[in-house]
Amino acid sequence: MEDISSVLLGQSSSDVLKQTAAPIHELPAELLVEIFRVVAAQAGEATHPRRTSYNELKPVLALSEVCGRWRQLVCTTPHLWNFQVGLSLKKAPSDTYLATTKTFFERSAPLLIPILWREETPEASPLSLVFWESDISRLYTLPTDALKNLISLDLRHWDETSDYTPLKVFLGAHIPWPQLVTLRLQISDYESAPAQEFIQILAQCPNLVSVEFLGMTPWSQPAGPSTPVIRLAQLTTLELDFDLEISEGLITPFLAHLDLPALKNVYIGSGINVHWSSADLTAFLHRSPNIEDLDISYSLMTSDNLSSLLANVPSLVALRLHQCFDFVGAFQATFGYLTFSPTAPGHPAPRLQRLTLLDDGEIDEEQLERMISSRWWTDAELAALAVAPPVARWEQVHIGTDFYLPDGEQRKYSDQLTTRMVQLQAQGLDLELK
């Protein structure tokens, strides 16, 4: 076998082919694979006694370059690719290293790849990791201190053919949940996970700054009076995406579990039959008084939901509602809530500057123009006021639908409104009517 190793690895691919093509090609695939394994192992040991990807990659690649049949055998033999992979905690890996490591994982499946964690300095740089469902077992085999510098974690379940794996299995892995700053949990389009499982993981992460949960199953019942509340004092960004395939459910019981005093950016996407509880929504907004950017898509909001929302976000700067209305006259109700009147006792969303409403309901042009004009002053008009208005001036207003009407037509507006809109645009307002 030593002679074969020297022949295969000590000469060029063309020389190998000329000298060994005839006898080698008569061997069955199973025997060739065994020879390849011995050759790769011997070559690696000759270079360095410790088995690593660097030592063994060169002979494996050399074997794959001899001919098409050898390449096919090498690339489809997992035992030739389950190298030990070294990860440095000192610096982020290069794109080339990541691509190579991905190839090792793909070609070694279903075998496990040993991971060598290198820590060149006592204070290693922060670590970010992405784990797919197939990698769960590796999380359980890591040394307890291997992830001591982990601050960003991305866990994904994305397999159309496999059974759903409960997210709570991650809780038993050696993951330092309390030190995580960024967390992303994603369930594929083919599956969904109960929102309670996301809550269980969230409860282990008190220092999170950003959370993104995708593929949750909404609640079937409103939150009860004894719902435990998780306080995440540093969380500023929350992105929730509920399963689009679920026929019906509630979003707000998830929010009822959260106390997020530093929250600023919120995105919520859901299925068309997912509803809100005004009581739960109001309580959540009271616990999150610093929300500045709110984006909600594809959920069913009632008039009460809308009024609860606009009345309890005093810090809101940007609002986007996309296909969210579940009642007749929703546009008009929104325009009415946001129309500023100096004599009114209160002013919903007093800091609101950017508004996007996209739906296919009817629009009352007079109410629309009244709402926009009530919160718009030119620079000269603002300078002439003795006291600044109690509400912010519009920066951007986008109103309309992203659906085409029958026969491909777009929504049409009157000449009077169009003329007024052109005037506002000329004064500096970013205004768009779809």
User: Among 344, 294, 381, which Cα is nearest to 336's?
Assistant: 344
The model's confidence at residue 245, banded by pLDDT at 50, 70 and 90, is: low
Phi, psi of 347 (to 5 degrees): -130, 100
CA angle 157, 297, 352 (to 5 degrees): 130
Cα–chain center distance at 214: 7
Helix (H) or strand (E) holding 419: helix 415-426
Distance, in Å, from the CA atom of 383 to the CA atom of 362, rounded to the nearest integer, reads 36
Residues 13, 72, single domain; the answer is: yes
Residues 149, 94, single domain; the answer is: no
Highest mean pLDDT among 66-70, 168-172, 381-385, 406-410: 381-385
Q: What is the pLDDT of residues 279-328, one digit of tens each?
A: 888 989 999 999 999 998 887 888 888 888 899 999 999 999 988 877 77
The model's confidence at residue 405, banded by pLDDT at 50, 70 and 90, is: low
**Mean pLDDT, to the nearest integer, of 254-273?**
87
Say if residue 370's pLDDT is above 80.
yes
Residues 270, 323, single domain; the answer is: yes
Burial class (CB in 10 A: 0-12, 13-18, 19+), 37: middle
**Tally of residues, the chain:** 434
pLDDT of residue 424: 94
Cβ-proximal residues to 65 (8 Å cutoff; 6+ apart), any chain = 13, 71
Q: Taking a C-beta distance cutoff of 8 angstroms, is the pair 358, 401 a contact? A: yes
pLDDT of residue 120: 45
Distance, in Å, from the CA atom of 330 to the CA atom of 359, rounded to the nearest integer, reads 9
pLDDT of residue 350: 94
Give me the percent of the chain exceeding a pLDDT of 90.
Answer: 28
Residues 111, 134, single domain; the answer is: no
| Structure tokens, 147 | 């992830």
Cβ-proximal residues to 263 (8 Å cutoff; 6+ apart), any chain = 235, 236, 237, 238, 288, 290, 291
Higher-scoring residue by pLDDT: 336, 246: 336
Residues 36, 113, single domain; the answer is: yes
pLDDT of residue 88: 58
Say if residue 5's pLDDT is above 90.
no
Distance, in Å, from the CA atom of 234 to the CA atom of 219, rounded to the nearest integer, reads 26
> Count of domains in the chain?
2
**Mean pLDDT, to the nearest integer, of 344-357?**
92
pLDDT of residue 231: 95
pLDDT of residue 40: 72
Higher-scoring residue by pLDDT: 44, 153: 153
pLDDT of residue 106: 78
Q: What is the DSSP string of 75-141?
A: HT-GGGT---EEEESSSPPPHHHHHHHHHHHHHHTTS---EEEE--SSSPPPEEEEEEGGGHHHHHH
Q: Taking a C-beta distance cutoff of 8 angstroms, is the pair 123, 148 a contact? A: no
Domain that holds residue 296: 127-433
CATH of the domain at 217: 3.80.10
Cα–chain center distance at 322: 19
Residues 84, 136, single domain; the answer is: no
> What is residue 261's DSSP assignment?
T
Q: What one-letter code names the amino acid at 201?
A: I
Cis peptide before 143 (omega within 30 of 0): no
Say if residue 344's pLDDT is above 50.
yes
pLDDT of residue 134: 53
Say if residue 162's pLDDT is above 60.
no
Which of 125, 151, 166 delimits the end of a domain? 125
Q: Report CA-CA distances (Å) from 386 to 121, 372, 383, 427.
A: 61, 22, 8, 21
Residues 75, 134, single domain; the answer is: no
Residues 119, 135, single domain; the answer is: no
Higher-scoring residue by pLDDT: 205, 104: 205
Residues 49, 148, single domain; the answer is: no
Residues 183, 142, single domain; the answer is: yes
User: Among 195, 179, 199, which Cα is nearest to 187's?
Assistant: 195
Q: What one-letter code names the amino acid at 216?
A: M
Q: Taking a C-beta distance cutoff of 8 angstroms, is the pair 277, 304 a contact? A: no
pLDDT of residue 124: 42
Q: What one-letter code names the amino acid at 433?
A: L
Q: What is the pLDDT of residues 105-120, one digit of tens each?
A: 777 777 666 665 554 4
Which of 125, 151, 167 delimits the end of a domain? 125
Say if residue 342's pLDDT is above 80.
yes
Residues 201, 93, single domain; the answer is: no
Report the chain's mean pLDDT, rounded to a whole number: 77
pLDDT of residue 103: 77
Higher-scoring residue by pLDDT: 274, 71: 71
CA angle 165, 167, 171 (to 5 degrees): 125
